[in-house]
């Protein structure tokens, strides 16, 4: 697990000074075993904040510390973080197994890492009742199944920080 510190984080989509920042001096600390829920109105910056923490949107790197080190934008940071968006990023033509292999390839896993990843992935699929569908193309999956597949692909990497954006939208 990871310790996350966000300090005085500000963000605006527009680059003009007249535009109010979407996020203005946001600060919080999460200890290793903490879980947090971000609550707010639509358009208030919840997803933007999560994308910044995940390193998907730029910010001043000194505003985010993971395990007391500045990381966003660095390749090693992305190995520590799993970002699960509200709409899973899966490909209709691939099977569940092929998604597992794609993630192994994208993350450039070594042979020993691939074995552990596959073992963990299959265990998660069993727990989420997804195993029978792993040989089917994703175009045949329901939205909930797609979400579970992507979630399992990311969790099997054993990240230190897991960021879930609207995690219950697609699940029954």
Kindly report the pTM of this predicted structure: 0.85
Distances (CA, A) of 128 to 44, 95, 141, 152, 169: 32, 16, 14, 9, 16
Average pLDDT over residues 96-112: 94
Most confident region among 66-70, 89-93, 163-167 by mean pLDDT:
89-93
pLDDT confidence bin for 78, thresholds 50/70/90: confident
**In the predicted model, is pLDDT for residue 105 greater than 90?**
yes
Give the number of C-alpha atoms closer than 13 A to the C-alpha of residue 77, restricted to the C-beta side.
20
Kindly tell me if the per-residue pLDDT of 163 is higher than 90.
yes
Beta bridge partners of 163: 83
Q: Which pLDDT score, from 0 to 100, does residue 20 have?
A: 80
- Judge contact between 95 and 110, C-beta under 8 A: no
pLDDT at position 170 is: 65
Are 61 and 5 a contacting pair, CB within 8 Å?
Answer: no
């Amino acid at each position: 697990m990871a310790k996350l510190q966000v300090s005085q984080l500000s963000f605006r989509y527009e680059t003009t000074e007249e535009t109010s920042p979407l996020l203005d001096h946001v600060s919080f600390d999460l200890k290793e075993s903490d879980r947090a829920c971000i609550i707010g109105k639509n358009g208030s910056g919840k997803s933007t904040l999560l994308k910044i923490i995940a390193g998907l949107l730029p910010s001043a790197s000194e505003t985010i510390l993971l395990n007391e080190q500045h990381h966003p934008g660095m390749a090693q940071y992305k190995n520590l973080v799993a970002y699960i968006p509200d709409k899973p990023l899966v490909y209709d033509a691939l099977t569940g197994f092929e998604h597992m292999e794609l993630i192994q390839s994208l993350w450039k896993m070594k042979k020993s890492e691939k074995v552990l990843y596959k073992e963990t992935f299959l265990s998660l699929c069993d727990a989420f009742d997804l195993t029978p569908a792993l040989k089917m193309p994703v175009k045949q999956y329901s939205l909930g199944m797609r979400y579970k597949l992507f979630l399992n692909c990311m969790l099997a990497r054993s990240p230190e920080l897991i960021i879930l954006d609207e995690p219950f939208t697609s699940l029954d």
